[in-house]
Structure 1
């Protein structure tokens, strides 16, 4: 609440001085302020000595300068000075000319002039800040548009490459080669989607939860299994370097796809839990757990025929981490990476 109030106050100050396009209104308001200052000074006169001729006129000049700018403030200074000289310096209802009156008027001019100059400088600085803020806002908007365009083009280029591989498959008769082209096309398309999800519209890296949830949802949707439920739990302090995001996403995608294809073979329903937590000071652990059929006896990633799992293990080694599959009630794909 306090921050919002401060922002609203700052925006109001940026509009000062007001009524710049309506000088007649500004002059009328300034004259009204001077009249009020004179009336208050007359009302307070019985309680004030002759040493306070400007006590209500200083605020009038400051308020006029603050609200309507240096010119209107200067005019208020002249009017208030003449009123105080005529009514409250020397003889009443006369412009007294003597040394005491001149010293008092000189003091008034110095104080009022200083106030007006300071207010003018503050308003000029405030105006410069407001213009700089608008320029910064425009640059930020332009950067956001360029970043979105870059993301869009990178993703589209990868999608085009995936489409070219799909077209190339039509001229290949060997079933193994066709399957390899299908897998390559799928992975390129996946990298394209990952690159689009890695950053938000402002160019900041998304949190791991924001990053992993749509990724897992895409893999589940691509499988066509409507009964598969995938939940993501990512600790706020389980952070990774941005360069590790795409390899991590590929590993997670392979683990989720493997759980759907093999763990839930012959089943339309199943549950997959993706958890990313900090493990000690130096490691981050990611687990993809399913409640499927589990692993066959003596399963080994390197000896298996799954290219996706071997790619996952290779990517983990490139990130100075480890990847393993653990059996039990269902299967657990466990990835450990440096934090």
Structure 2
């Protein structure tokens, strides 16, 4: 609420002078200011000691300069100065000027001129601020547009590459080659989707949870299995390092794809839980758990013929972490990364 009020005050100051292009409005308000200042000076005249002829006129000059600009402020200063000279500086009710009155009049001219100049400088600074704010707004809009266009083009190019691999698969007769092209196409398409999620348009990085939620939904949707349910359980979230985003996504996607393909083989439904937590002060633990068939006895990634799992282990090493499949109460793919 405080920041919004501050922003409203800045926008109000940027619109000063208020009556630019509306001289009739400014003239009416200025005339009212002068009349009120003169009325107030007469009202307090008896209670003031000698030597305060301008006491109620200074605020009128400041207000007029602040609201309507230096020209109107100078006009108010001139009218108020004449009123003070005529009514409140000896000889009263005349424009005769004694020596002491000349000093007072000179002091008045110096003070109101200083006020008007300072206010004029402030308003010029506000006008420059308004221009800078508008320029910054336009630059921000341009940056956001270019950012979205870049994300869109990168993602589209990767999707095109994935589509080309899928087309090339039709010309491959070997079943293993077709499966390899399928996997490559799937991973390229996944990286294309990841590129849309790494950053916000403002340039801020996402948290791991913000990154994993749409990723896991994409993997489940790509599998075509409507009975698979995936939940994200985050005990301690953290900012996502952009350099680790693609490897992390590929590892989590591979663990989920492995659970869907093998853990839920011959099953229409299943539950996958992606769990994120701290493991001590130095490690972040990401686990993909499923309630599927479980791992066979003596299973190890090194002895497995799954290229995807070996790639996941290799990517984990590149991130200075570890990746493994564990036989617990649920089959668990565990990724440990430096915090």
Structure 2 length-normalised TM: 0.97
1:1-339 → structure 2 map (5 Å cutoff): 1-234=1-234, 237-339=237-339
Structure 1 length-normalised TM: 0.97
Displaced runs of 4 or more, over 4 A: none
Q: How big is the shift at 1:190?
A: 0.4
Q: How big is the shift at 1:238?
A: 2.6
List runs of 5+ in structure 2 lacking aligned partners. none
- Retained in 1: the 8 A contact 2:207–2:238? no
Measured against aligned partners, the alpha-carbon deviations of 1:23-68 in whole angstroms (never above 9, x if no partner) come to 1221221111111111111111121122111111000000000000
In structure 2, the CA distance between the partners of 1:235 and 1:65, relative to structure 1 (3 Å rule), is: farther
- Retained in 1: the 8 A contact 2:219–2:257? yes
How far apart, in 2, do the equivalents of 1:236 and 1:147 lie? 30
- Retained in 1: the 8 A contact 2:230–2:271? yes
- Retained in 2: the 8 A contact 1:230–1:271? yes
Measured against aligned partners, the alpha-carbon deviations of 1:176-222 in whole angstroms (never above 9, x if no partner) come to 11111011001000000001111122232122111110000000111
Which stretch shifts more, 267-276 or 212-221? Answer: 267-276
Cα RMSD of the aligned pairs, angstroms, is: 1.3
In structure 2, the CA distance between the partners of 1:137 and 1:235, relative to structure 1 (3 Å rule), is: farther
Secondary structure of the equivalent of 2:86? helix
Which stretch shifts more, 32-41 or 91-100? Answer: 91-100
In structure 2, the CA distance between the partners of 1:68 and 1:283, relative to structure 1 (3 Å rule), is: same
How far apart, in 2, do the equivalents of 1:279 and 1:32 lie? 73
Secondary structure of the equivalent of 1:324? strand
How far apart, in 2, do the equivalents of 1:86 and 1:268 lie? 99
Q: How big is the shift at 1:240?
A: 4.0
In structure 2, the CA distance between the partners of 1:236 and 1:87, relative to structure 1 (3 Å rule), is: farther
Q: How big is the shift at 1:281?
A: 2.7
How far apart, in 2, do the equivalents of 1:112 and 1:278 lie? 66
How far apart, in 1, do the equivalents of 2:233 and 2:133 lie? 39
- Retained in 2: the 8 A contact 1:244–1:319? yes
Q: How big is the shift at 1:150?
A: 0.7
Q: How big is the shift at 1:236?
A: 5.5
Q: How big is the shift at 1:127?
A: 1.1
Q: Tell me the number of residue pairs that the alignment of Structure 1 and Structure 2 aligns.
A: 339
How far apart, in 1, do the equivalents of 2:17 and 2:233 lie? 53
- Retained in 1: the 8 A contact 2:207–2:237? no
How far apart, in 2, do the equivalents of 1:76 and 1:236 lie? 65
How far apart, in 2, do the equivalents of 1:177 and 1:317 lie? 27
In structure 2, the CA distance between the partners of 1:41 and 1:100, relative to structure 1 (3 Å rule), is: same
